[in-house]
Chains A and B, each alone.
Chain A
């Protein structure tokens, strides 16, 4: 991006004053090199978001922002229903509540190294991944609706995990306000065989070791020590979420004129929060969030079973579960007054700071764990929320590395076999049903996740706690 398009406020804060249809400024958090690498589409999309009805404070872009659908990926925006505010299907994204869950295993690198290959093979056998894979649970009718209403709570009731798991999930594992009757039969049909499946693309299950601690006090509160082994799951609401996203994007685009909303880009498809379509979407989208939470809960269960077979002394407990494609009702300061607003995070992670009432008591002094996935075979980060991020970004931070190279180009540059062999040389075992899928996800096709989390820290959005490196990666 051409830096002259932005006004530099400080080392890692960039600003666009409102012009044209923009109702609020656009604010981008990133350092200079990240901004230079960013597509100018990010700025165009940020301006478009800033022009939507009822937006408050500013349209924000996180350090990993890239060209998305209407909203930039790495975009955060909040809307006030009292001011004609909208809810946007594009602002949530196709993979509703896609997110990251990390589990402690109670094991160290020394425990796992001798069994690394056996563990990789067991996980690959037990966790359905990739195109055409089906879960062992088939949901129909009432059972589907119960899952959409209950989320991870439903999964625990079915025997997948324990009550303690729920304490470490956003919304305590169950998004309120879900309305399964607003989810189409087609969306439910896409989900019938997909519970407990990982999906494909950038979704994965990794076994990681804690390679570096940055913040001892927070690491202790999170239960992290150097050499500890974590299991981390990155996936979302599967076919159900994709179908909800697809249907509402189209319906909102078609109904915009009727709602008196001018869309500079059809992908900005949105509806007033206080409209029938807006309310129906919110009910369906919240059901999609529960689907993702239930899915990660079932995968947690499958991961536990796989560990039991290979490393029976492992005890898997949830460190935390974050979602990075959501719209949630939260209380935030707007013009000096605390208000309920609808916060969209598209490729952005909620990052509540210390003292936030929604955090479990044992995390309240340090802030929320913020789980950031890097590219395959590089590194991931555990961050913590800050108090100042409330004023900076409605308590939001980045979500991952973000692609630097298109899938198309990646596939031409590397073969999957090359990528797998190179990672094997570095002690990382990759298991995937698709070598070409692995090539598209090659580590160098992504931006440097370190630059992203460093920028998020400098901007005050979150603080680094630990860096983790993979030893096993199951790719869909």
Chain B
């Protein structure tokens, strides 16, 4: 199994997004892919445009929520989807690039909008095997 990956976990009304990676930054990238995967399969999204995202937060968990909410904001206001992310984290500030294209209903068959990343089940932590986990529930 690849070291970095994303997955979804169940919530009563909504859906949990989880990224796992060798570093917090990789785990954040994977969590953002999990967010894309709530809406469409990330491999369907071409990296035609690059969008810059910057966030700062009091701690790394709120940084994850802020980052995912910034992604949701860029998707909503630009009418875009992102299929790839590059994240750099220093302390509690983050610089990221999201690569994607405009929503095409025929091509992407989007399932549902993401309303916001929540603080429910919000966790960023190093696991026993040394890899990092970044997760929260997304309201859809």
Contacts and interface: CB of A to CB of B under 8 A. Distances in A.
Given A250-B62, A403-B12, A200 B113 contact: yes
A435 B8 CA distance: 20
Given A186-B73, A434-B110, A435-B109, A131 B118 contact: no
Contact of B73 (A243, A402, A409, A434): A243
Contacts of A408: 8-10, 15
B13 A267 contact: no
A200 B119 contact: no
Interface stretch (A7-15, A63-71, A108-116, A283-291): A63-71
B53 interface: no
A406 B12 contact: yes
A267 B119 contact: yes
Interface in B44-80: 58, 62, 65-66, 69, 72-73, 76-77, 79
B109 A132 contact: no
Contact of A66 (B8, B13, B58, B140): B13
B88 interface: no
Contacts of B102: 132
A94 B115 CA distance: 7
Nearest to B40: A131
A190 B77 contact: yes
Contact of A94 (B39, B79, B112, B139): B139
Most buried by A among B65, B76, B103, B109: B76
B6 to A, nearest CB: 13
A69 B110 contact: no
Interface of A: 39, 41, 66-70, 73, 94-95, 130-132, 134, 186, 189-190, 192, 199-201, 239, 242-243, 245-246, 249-250, 253-254, 266-267, 269, 402-403, 406-409, 433-437, 440, 476
Interface of B: 8-15, 39, 58, 62, 65-66, 69, 72-73, 76-77, 79, 102-103, 105, 109-113, 115-120, 122, 137, 139-140
